[in-house]
Structure 1
């Protein structure tokens, strides 16, 4: 897991073949003027979604994890709380949805932290995360989905 400011995003470009492009998009997209929905991206290994999501309490936040994607999550309208736990420590799977590449767990995160506008958090498949924690009714956020190396589409 990585937590940093958007201004420092390029520091992580070498960690994955598609991070250079993803970090450039993170730093240059005008999120405030983009409509909700999927943002067009020419790279088939990067999908970007912007939306308004309901917030929840820590007690209601279930950890989730992915196999095929790395998440970069960016709160846009306010701070967002997250829980984190290493996927290897999870014991109570609620089932994996292959179509959505998401598995929820009935476990409690080990760590809680907040991410403010101007910051991002990056979750690898080993990072189970419980997003959307906060007191506001909703948050507008951007989520980047970057294919893991095993599921990456090679450019022609």
Structure 2
């Protein structure tokens, strides 16, 4: 997992060039007028989705992980709580959609850490890193506008 801010990529000098380029592309292409939807950068190798979603309690959210794609999540507006766990992701799979959707949902681990992403913050999850997005911050649900970039690992 890597955390940073899209306006200060110089503070993440170890960021792989392919991921840096994907973030730079989003910075150039996405603005307040960009419609929700899927946008292609390099066919199925690199693409992103713009969405607006209401945050939810940690109890309602589900832990997930991916196998084929690196997941770059960039907050455009709102505050997004992101729960993570360093425990193995395969403890108990609740729903496996890895073949058709590159996502699997797992039972919540006993230990979790919540951090908050502000506008222009990003977090990068490598395959099999368990995370629970869209968590409420400070007990209040709010609309979160974000971009999720998918970068194929092969």
Report what 1:6 is aligned to: 6
Indicate if the aligned counterparts of 1:85 and 1:128 stay in contact, CA closer than 8 A.
yes
Indicate if the aligned counterparts of 1:13 and 1:19 stay in contact, CA closer than 8 A.
no
Shift in alpha-carbon separation, 1:101–1:85, aligned structure 2, 3 A = same
Indicate if the aligned counterparts of 2:47 and 2:150 stay in contact, CA closer than 8 A.
yes
* Structure 2 counterparts to residues 60-139 of structure 1, below 5 A: 60-86=60-86, 88=88, 90-97=90-97, 98-108=99-109, 110-134=112-136, 135-139=140-144
Shift in alpha-carbon separation, 1:115–1:95, aligned structure 2, 3 A = same
- For 2:35 and 2:89, how far apart are their aligned partners in 1? 38
Report what 1:31 is aligned to: 31
TM-score by length of 2: 0.84
Indicate if the aligned counterparts of 2:72 and 2:148 stay in contact, CA closer than 8 A.
yes
Shift in alpha-carbon separation, 1:12–1:68, aligned structure 2, 3 A = farther
Shift in alpha-carbon separation, 1:42–1:90, aligned structure 2, 3 A = closer
Report what 2:40 is aligned to: 40
Indicate if the aligned counterparts of 2:78 and 2:142 stay in contact, CA closer than 8 A.
no
Indicate if the aligned counterparts of 1:13 and 1:23 stay in contact, CA closer than 8 A.
no
Indicate if the aligned counterparts of 2:89 and 2:130 stay in contact, CA closer than 8 A.
no
Shift in alpha-carbon separation, 1:14–1:75, aligned structure 2, 3 A = closer
Runs (5+) with no aligned partner, structure 1:
150-156
Report what 1:58 is aligned to: 58
* Number of equivalenced pairs: 148
- For 1:13 and 1:147, how far apart are their aligned partners in 2? 19
Runs (5+) with no aligned partner, structure 2:
none
TM-score by length of 1: 0.83
Shift in alpha-carbon separation, 1:96–1:43, aligned structure 2, 3 A = same
Shift in alpha-carbon separation, 1:90–1:117, aligned structure 2, 3 A = same
CA root-mean-square deviation: 2.1
